[in-house]
Structures are given as structure tokens and as C-alpha cells.
Amino acid sequence: MLKAISPLDGRYHQRVEMLGDYFSEYALMGARVWVELQYLLALDQTKIFPALGKREIKRIEQLSISFTQEAYEKIKDIEAILNHDVKACEVYLVNELKLKHPNMIHFGLTSEDVNNIAYTLLIKKYRDAQQLPQLQILLRFLAKKITEWKSISFPSHTHGQMASPTTAGKELAVFASRLLRQYSALKKLPFRAKCNGATGNYSAFVSASSDIKWVEFSKKFLYNLDLDINPVTTQIEDHDTWAEYFSISKMINNIVLDMNEDVWTYLMLGYMKQKTKDSEVGSSTMPHKVNPINFENSEGNLGISNALLDHFTTKLTRSRLQRDLSDSTVERNIGVALGHAYLGLDETLRGLKKLRVNTEFCENELNNYPELLAEPIQTILRREGFTNPYNIMKNITRGHTLTVADLNKFISSLKVSDEVRKELSDLRAVNYTGIADKICNNVVREINKTF
């Protein structure tokens, strides 16, 4: 779109175009119509009205599987007159279905009954068809890199200072493990909806027929849509489930953001490098630059997503008295938040595919910091019964420049057995990575087991 206001509909349109199947006005209107039609079929089973004829049922089924641009435009024309989107859907269905008993359409419902179900179904559909598969692709790729890098010694930092070494694979394994937990929570999250009338008391339903167990009817109707019932509401569904969903989505964003920032820093420090393309440039004036653009783009998009998700969780779970309409315009931006999240994860995956570990540089970095061995040395000396070995190592390392020769001289001066002296002398920072490789294997095993 030449004059698109949102970059999701402009610069990034081709990357997120498929999300229009879940979050466009067209998708929402189609979902509303589908919900009205499914409700109509469910209502027919109550026998409040004379049974639908075969031709009527056929027309309902045809409309259920085919929502067209022509149908959308007809509804929008009606909405332009009525100034009410859900009522426009009802009028459209009355005109199209031509039922013998058109009062069946939207019988007993309030607009929020249709809206909360339609939005929830679209969110759930997006989760299952796009969000979870994208996470699965990211996790599978991380598992591949974790396996490749699990034994590559890698400098680590705590508080910005050189710390006990790790492996490149182990650092990715941390993020993969966190993402896997959120993936599982996201996949298992049940969605709730309501179908209980204007203020949540089934009043219109009961007034029409007090003999029918309307709560059971509503529960069965929602169950057939693969939704749980929210049994106690005002006019609106409380959206607590949505808030749980948004919170998990935000957690996923935050984990990826954390990984982006670490990778960006590793690139700055020279621990990692990016594959280059001859046709690309990193600066309009500095030809040498290879920018971490994917991780930076991801960071920006995920930040926008989180800002909106934060607002959704606080705004959509509150409504004045039995309802106010301030949620309506907010709900229309759900796709914006999730679109930026989808784009952010896609950028991170693109960036990860360019990465390689600068192995030689990492090993040299570790070899240049023999003081990193202060931790294992003082731990072994603890085992050997030395008095306050921590302070001994602190005095010769903290704030001092230590050489390998200095460290060897210190080890030679220790009153320990030859076996222990050899144990201490054999310590190397590049090998001081504990069971990092086994931790990597465990994470990869969990990912493979999940998928």
C-alpha cells in the first residue's frame, strides 16, 4: 500500500500479509458471520422455533464456508447506515438467508456475545496456525546451533566483567529452555468465552423460554467451538484469558529480546561474526561495517509489541460497571501487537542464521585471563582443607593483572601433594566449562521430545 500508515501494511506487508487472515476487519467480519451461523444451527436444536428446512440449512452451511469480499462489502454498506457493525451482520444474514423465521438470527444475543467469541476464535486460530509453528521453527533452529556449538569455549561476563567460561551452545540453550517453557504454556492455554446476553444473566433467553437449560446450551455451544465457558460475566467477557495469552506472548518477546541484546553484545565484542552478502552495505560512508540489523529490527518490533500487550492486559480486563465501549478500538489493535511480535521473531531467526562463533578469538580471550581460574583453584583448595582460600586467591587476582607465569609460580608454592599440584597446573580457562555440553544435550533432547 503506497500510503499505508502502519509499516506492517507498508514496508513489511509481504512479511506479515498472511496475518490478515486473523486480524483484518475482513477477517473479523467473517468470524462474526460464522459465529452467528453456528449459533443459528445450535438454536435450531432447542425447538423454540419451527425447525429449519433442508434448503435453509444448506444456505447456512454455504455461507459458513464461504465469506467473500462481496459479502463483506454488503455488510459495510449496511453498517454505514446503521452505524453498528454486529447489527449490520445480523441484517445481512436476514437478507441473505431469507429464513421463514428470520427472528431466529441473533436471537437473545447481545453484540458482545458475538464479538467475544469471534475475537477469541481468531486469536486461537492465529496461535495454532502461525504463532506456535513460528516458535517451533525458532526452537528447532536453536537446537541445531546448540548442538553445533555445545563444546565451543566461550567467554562469559557477570556485571560486565570477565567471569567463569561457558560454551556458545550453552548460552543459546538458556534462551531455548526458557522459550520451550513458554511454548508449552501457550499451547496448553484454554480460551474462554461467554454467550449469556446483555448483562450476563440469560434474561432474554429465559424470558422467551424458561424451560430450556440455557447455561447448558451455552456451554455446549462454546464447547463445540473448542472454547470453555466463562459462566459469570457482565455484558462483556472479562478477557482474563486474553490477558493470560498476552502475558505469555510478552514473555516470549522478552526472552527473545534478552537473546537479541546478548548476541548484539557478542558481535560488538568480536565473540561472534555474521556471514556477509557481497551486494549488501552496512553504512552509507563506512564500507567495512556489517551491522546486526536483524537483531536491532527485532528489538524495535518486540518493544512495540510489548508496549501494546502491556496496555491490553490492563485495559481489556477492566470495564466500567457492566460495560463501556472503550475496549472496542483497543481490540482492533490486537493484530498490530501480534504482528510486530511475529515480525520480531522472524528478524531474530534471520539474524541467527547469519551467525558464526569466532572460535579462535574466544580462545585467545580466555587464555588472556588466567585469573578466571581463581574460582576452581580456591574451590579445590577448600576441598584440601586450606584456611580461607577465597581470600588467598582474592589477594593475588582482584584488581591485579595476572600472568600464566604468576599463576604457575603461585601453584608451585602451595603445600599440596604432587597429584593436587598437577590437578591445579592442568587447569585451563578454555576447558573450564563444567557440564555445559551435557546441559546442551538435555535442552536439545527436550526440544526434540516436544516436537
10 Å CB burial of residue 8 (0-12, 13-18, 19+) is: buried
Q: Do residues 147 and 436 lie in contact, with contact meaning Cβ atoms separated by under 8 Å?
A: no
Q: Do residues 38 and 133 lie in contact, with contact meaning Cβ atoms separated by under 8 Å?
A: no
- Where helices occur in 54-110 by DSSP H, the ranges are 54-65, 69-82, 85-97
159 has catalytic annotation: yes
Q: Which three three-digit cell numbers place residue 423?
A: 590437578
Phi, psi of 332 (to 5 degrees): -70, -10
E strand or H helix that includes residue 82: helix 69-82
The catalytically annotated residue of 66, 159, 284, 288 is 159
Query: What span, in angstroms and rounded, lies between the C-alpha atoms of 94 and 106?
Result: 10
- Where helices occur in 277-426 by DSSP H, the ranges are 293-315, 326-331, 334-352, 359-367, 374-383, 389-397, 404-413, 418-425
Query: What span, in angstroms and rounded, lies between the C-alpha atoms of 182 and 188?
Result: 10
- Where helices occur in 127-239 by DSSP H, the ranges are 132-149, 168-188, 203-208, 214-224
Task: Name residue 50's amino acid.
Answer: P
Query: What span, in angstroms and rounded, lies between the C-alpha atoms of 431 and 363?
Result: 10
The catalytically annotated residue of 184, 207, 209, 283 is 283
Give the CA-trace dihedral at 13, 293, 277, 266, to 10 degrees. Answer: -150
In the Cβ-directed half-sphere of 253, how many Cα atoms lie within 13 Å?
28
Active site residues: 159, 283
